[in-house]
């Protein structure tokens, strides 16, 4: 219950940040993963993380290609910690979460 409430709060927090349509449907579980892990940095510009849904922050990163983005998420990249601290995330979760952050579907290789 507590978890679900947190997820709802997170969803509201980032929905408030970005008026554009979400690009991937997250399951309630993935919403919790997003809120509890990724958004701690990706909703805070001061961390240096590209901001969720902010196209300017993501365009150069998306140009690297889906495979590189997925690998950098799993292995870490500069200030981005390995797996974004999400030890409960699997590969499908990462694809969905990156799509949510970047505003673009991340294809399967
Ligand atoms: C502790 C802060 C932090 C957390 C937590 C975090 N990130 Fe990041 N992330 C960063 C920073 C900082 C960068 C920018 C790194 C750079 O380019 O200097 C980044 C970059 C990225 C990138 C772009 C990588 C690239 O190749 O340009 C992706 C994708 C990403 N994060 C996904 C995620 C996902 C998914 C989660 C949650 C599971 C997450 N991040 C959690 C800080 C974080």
Instruction: Kindly state whether residue 107 falls inside one of the protein's structural domains.
Output: no
Q: Is the pLDDT of residue 105 over 60?
A: yes
Instruction: Kindly state whether residue 89 falls inside one of the protein's structural domains.
Output: yes
Residue among 55, 65, 84, 106 whose CB has most ligand 1 atoms within 8 A, to mutate: 84
Instruction: Kindly state whether residue 54 falls inside one of the protein's structural domains.
Output: yes
Instruction: Kindly state whether residue 6 falls inside one of the protein's structural domains.
Output: yes
Q: What is the CATH number of the domain that holds 59?
A: 1.10.760.10
Tell me how far apart the alpha carbons of residues 105 and 29 are, in angstroms, rounded to a whole number: 18
9-56 pLDDT, tens digit each: 555 455 444 434 445 589 999 999 999 999 999 999 999 999 999 999
Range of the domain at 66: 2-102
- Beta carbon of 51 within 6 Å of any ligand 1 atom: no
> Which residue, by CA, sits nearest to atom 21 of ligand 1?
80
Q: Is the pLDDT of residue 1 over 50?
A: no
Cβ atoms < 10 Å from Cβ of 79: 9
């Amino acid at each position: 219950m507590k978890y679900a409430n947190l997820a709802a709060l997170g969803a509201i927090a980032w929905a408030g940040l970005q008026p554009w349509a979400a690009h991937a449907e997250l399951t309630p579980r993935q919403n919790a993963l997003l809120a509890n892990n990724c958004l701690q940095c990706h909703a805070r510009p001061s961390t240096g993380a590209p901001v969720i849904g902010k196209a300017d922050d993501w365009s150069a990163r998306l140009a690297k290609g889906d495979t590189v983005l997925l690998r950098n998420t799993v292995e870490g990249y500069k200030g981005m910690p390995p797996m974004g601290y999400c030890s409960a995330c699997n590969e499908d979760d990462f694809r969905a979460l990156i799509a949510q952050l970047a505003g673009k579907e991340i294809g399967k290789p």
